Chain A
Amino acid sequence: MNFAIETVNLNVYYGQNHVIKGVDLKIPNRGVFALMGPSGCGKSTMLRTFNRLIELNEGARVDGEVRLFGENIYSGDVDPIEVRKRVGMVFQYPNPFPHLTIYDNVAIGLKLNGLVKSKEELDERVEWALKKAALWDEVKDRLNDYPGNLSGGQRQRLVIARALAMKPEVLLMDEPTANIDPVGTAKIEELLLELKEDYTIVLVTHSPAQAARVADHVAFLYLGELIEVGPARKVFENPEHELTEKYVTGALG
């Protein structure tokens, strides 16, 4: 029960293509857990089983269990919508809704799910989320503008605010800095270090360097198989598996 997420013999298939192969993974509560591995190894797929977003892909089939604080979210009586309210997500491409204002982008999850009771509470929560995402000072004077003029890094922080506004228990991030310039990347990494005090963050990254900078625990995924998992320090300084060593030293694609 002290794990935020736990997978038990997790398998994912796209049609005939077996993409996640019998993964058993335990993600502790609080802190940054980095899921790393080369492109195409199944990181995004696995991350999307944690909030059942994988179900948007008609061809995808999930087998096994994913437990969120002990509860199997794939058991028949679980509503994926309830899962997604508890598990926020940030994407590889910063995707605030371009046709909603900055304010509405943060407020939308709250509005949809009726999570606040009044306009005042909504205002407060939006401000709180934007502050948490370290974006408030940059947008407080233009909350009613559309996000089109924000930089990539600002947009990504807006998406983080959108997710945080719902006060999720777990925050999933799929290569959140992949499409962002170095300055924006540094800001987001700094933000992660702040947020990890209160949240469980599962960070997908294809960069071992990033994992080394921000993660408390790391897992190394290769061709759909979990090769190694452990405290970041241990995995980077003293990997058990040869593949892991190759990967963290950059000898692997």
Chain B
Amino acid sequence: MRKVESFKVATYPAVIIVFLLFAGMLFVYFTNALPALHRYGLDLYLENVWRAAEEPSEEVYGIAAAIWGSIYTSIIAILIALPLSVAYSVFVVDYAPKRLKNAFIILSDIMAGLPTIIYGIWGAFFLVPFLRDWIMKPLYDHLSFIPLFSYPPVGGYSYLSAGVLLAIMVTPFASAIIREAYNMVPFTYREAIYSLGATRYEATKILLGYIKPAIISGTILAFGRAVGETVAVSLVIGNTFNLTTALFAPGYTVSSLIANQFGNAFIYEYMTSTLFAAGLILFVIGLAVNVVGLKMLKRWERDVNI
């Protein structure tokens, strides 16, 4: 009993340090963002302008395009990554030959651990031209009357390219969580569903329902990583202040905006502060996504209580 207590006490400093770090970072971002927030108000987040000028009175910034880009590319990424990671998990647990199981698991762990610049360069050199020639051009040629496909895919640097690249990058994270949970489904539920005359496909569907909390958690983790990803995205998104749903248009994300502009921001009076304000919004998005996720998990727990 004493041992347990002393261990608990020993964790306090760590908890306090983590909390202080978080609060301290938030404080630094907030104070540095104040000049821009003060000057532009909410327009900083709602307008799409980027006018850098050496004369401070002519500087105007509004990062709506970047916020939109972050959310849009992350949603694209999730829409692709979720089915991919569920399929990969089911494949590894149910279908992969026993001897190869570990190989597949290690493979996806390596994918998760690769430095993101590796993805970025591969994305820029291979994925972008590939998507442009094989996906965007055909869709544009035949279906450009659909707003989603209406932007001419000249360079290929676009929301779609960023979304697909992000999907590839976050799939290993989401699938690690989903796979682990799927693997842990008690055998008795497998027996139960098969004993009712289910096919493999039907059984899988039911058992995936059982691990819904893990799927939600995996999605939140993946979304968080996608929103925060910087280097790889800035290499494939085109870094352009667009605000559109057209998938093939180049855009910006908050993190790629910060990474791109931070180097020369000191030249201008309000740009650094604007970038700090942009950083703040990432905190907010992260918080919002986690709160929504927790709500969903809570509801599940309350209803189902396994």
A residues sitting closer than 8 Å to B (CB atoms) are 51, 53, 56, 58, 81-82, 84-85, 88-89, 91, 93, 95, 97-100, 108-109, 112-113, 146, 148-149, 159, 162-163, 166
**B196, closest chain A residue (CB):** A109
Could you count the A-B residue pairs with CB atoms below 8 Å apart for me: how many are there?
A: 75
Residue contact A112 to B196, C-beta cutoff 8 Å: yes
Inter-subunit contact A93/B305 (CB<8 Å): no
- Having A89-B192, A148-B303, one finds 8 other A-B pairs with CB under 8 Å, namely A51-B195, A56-B191, A81-B199, A99-B210, A100-B206, A100-B209, A146-B305, A166-B196
The 4 closest A-B pairs by CB, nearest first: A109-B196, A148-B305, A89-B195, A85-B197
Bound CA–CA A163/B193 (angstroms): 11
- For B, the interface residue count at a CB cutoff of 8 angstroms equals 25
Q: Which of B186, B192, B197 is the one whose CB lies under 8 Å from A166?
A: B197
Q: A84-B196, A108-B196, A113-B197 are in contact. Are A56 and B190 (CB under 8 A)?
A: yes
Smallest CB–CB gap between A46 and chain B, Å? Answer: 15
Q: Contacting A112 at CB < 8 Å: which of B98, B188, B202, B304?
A: B202
Would B197 and A81 count as touching, CB distance under 8 A? yes
Q: Flag B85-107 by CB within 8 Å of A: 1 or 0 each.
A: 00000000000001000000000
Contact B188 A98 (CB under 8 A): no
With a cutoff of 8 Å between Cβ atoms, the chain B residues found around residue A148 in the complex are 303-306
B contacts with A: majority SS: helix
Alpha-carbon separation in the docked complex, A166 to B98 (Å): 34
Chain A residues with CB under 8 Å of B197's CB are: 81-82, 84-85, 109, 112-113, 166
| Smallest CB gap from A149: residue in B | B305
Which residues of B does A touch, CB under 8 Å? 98, 186-199, 202, 206, 209-210, 212, 300, 303-306
Q: With A98-B304, A146-B305 as given contacts, are A91 and B196 in contact (CB-CB < 8 Å)?
A: no
Is A112 touching B190 in the complex (CB atoms < 8 A)? no
A108 to B303, CA, bound (A): 19
- Report the Cα distance A195→B231, complex, angstroms: 67
Q: How far is B197's CA from A163's CA once the two chains are assembled, in angstroms?
A: 10
Minimum C-beta distance from A160 to chain B (A) = 12
- Report yes or no: A99 in contact with B304, Cβ–Cβ below 8 A: yes
Nearest chain B CB to A169 CB, angstrom units: 13
Bound Cα distance from A45 to B168, whole angstroms: 43
> Given B187, B194, B206, B304, which contacts A84 in the complex, CB threshold below 8 Å?
B194
Q: Are B303 and A112 in contact, with the CB atoms below 8 A? A: no
On chain A, the residues within 8 Å of B198 by CB distance are 81, 112
Q: In whole angstroms, how far apart are the Cα atoms of A146 and B210 in the complex? A: 12
The CA-CA distance from A82 to B196 in the complex, in Å, is: 10
| Cβ–Cβ < 8 Å partners of B186 in chain A | 95
Contact residues in B for A81 (Cβ distance below 8 Å): 197-199
A91 touches B188 (CB 8 A): yes
**Bound state CA distance, A228 and B210, in angstroms?**
42
A146 to B196, Cβ gap below 8 A?
A: no
> A residues within 8 A CB of B194?
53, 56, 84
Closest to B209 in A: A99
